[in-house]
Structure 1
Amino acid sequence: MSRRDFDPETVRADGRVAAKGVVFDAGAGGPWRGFLAGEVIGGEVTVLAYGNDTPGEGPRLHVHPYDETFVVVEGRARFFVGDEVIEAGAGEAVLGPAGVPHRFENIGQDRLQTIDIHHSPRWIQTDLD
């Protein structure tokens, strides 16, 4: 499928160069594998890697001053975003809007693995419980 969503002549490079950073150590244990702040590589988003093997387990209730997008890479999760409850599985994404408290938990019998995209060059969070 060929796409042409914009005219490349209308966009100017801003002078940044390609960069690489480590999000997580693939051999590390524990649920929080690591994160890469966008500001480290000159990007606009911060990327976190989270995973656990325990049903009912997940991050505590918290809030950010920016949007967060959760991509379920493996397993199933139940997301609590404000008053909404959303179940998502591998290949699906959930939005946590700025200023809305949220958390999620593993609802499968196997590993839950997510990539959490913070729409900010820095990870800024307030835990609520």
Structure 2
Amino acid sequence: MNDPGEAEALRDGGSTVPRVVHVSELRRPDSRTARFEGRAHGSGISFFLVDADPGHGPGLHRHPYSETWVVLEGQATITIDGHDLVAEADDCAVVPAGLWHSFVNSGSGALRMICIHASDVMVQEGFPPP
């Protein structure tokens, strides 16, 4: 594409103009956590950008694909198949597909974490997503 005005990405037989997705567009009105489902944006992954207070987090659930967590700030206790792991800022953890898991903010301040789903749409059994 020689002309910057032609900066279009071909996808699914059509075209879309690349754009920045603002986190405010991904939050429900009653939550600080943002939900990004990749399919709607031409991405092969989905994620939650978690912003949770101490004691908060989803209950037990599972997915038919792996999920990777990256802790940006705070502390999370992650339960995977009955095993508790404590992750802090700059730590990562992975749960394989099909295992029951949950996490809770086990620190004294805010938990900021990215929960990356290896799927362009979120599929979940158990606790409803935040």
Q: TM-score, normalised by structure 1?
A: 0.75
1:48/1:38 CA distance change after superposition, 3 Å: same
Tell me the alpha carbon deviations over residues 27-53 of structure 1, each in whole angstroms, 9 at most, x when there is no partner: x67555221111122111002111212
Following superposition, which runs of at least 4 residues in structure 1 exceed 4 angstroms of deviation?
A: 15-18, 28-32
Secondary structure, counterpart of 1:72 in structure 2: strand
Match of 1:33 in 2: 33
Unaligned runs of at least 5 residues, structure 2: 1-9
Structure 1 residues 58 and 114: alpha-carbon distance in aligned structure 2, compared to 1, 3 A threshold = same
Q: Which runs of 5 or more structure 1 residues have no equivalent in the other structure?
A: 1-14
* TM-score normalized by the length of structure 2: 0.75
- Which residue of structure 2 lines up, in the alignment, with residue 45 of structure 1? 45
Q: Contact 2:71/2:92 (CA < 8 Å) preserved in 1?
A: yes
Identity %: 31
For residues 40 and 95 of structure 1, what CA distance do their matches in structure 2 show?
24
How many residues get paired? 113
Contact 2:58 2:127 in 1 (8 A): no
Contact 2:33 2:52 in 1 (8 A): no
Aligned partners of 2:63 and 2:57: how far apart in 1? 17
Separation in 2 of the partners of 1:39 and 1:71? Answer: 21
Structure 1 residues 18 and 103: CA distance shift in structure 2, 3 A: farther
Equivalent residues in 2 for 1:2-41, closer than 5 Å: 19-20=18-19, 22=21, 24-25=23-24, 31-41=31-41
Deviations 1:29-81 (A, max 9, x none): 75552211111221110021112122x22111100000000111110010000
CA RMSD for the aligned pairs?
2.5
Give the Cα–Cα distance (whole angstroms) in 2 for the partners of residues 96 and 81 of structure 1: 7
Task: Name the CA distance, whole Å, in 2 between partners of 1:58 and 1:70.
Answer: 13
Matched, 1:109 2:126: no
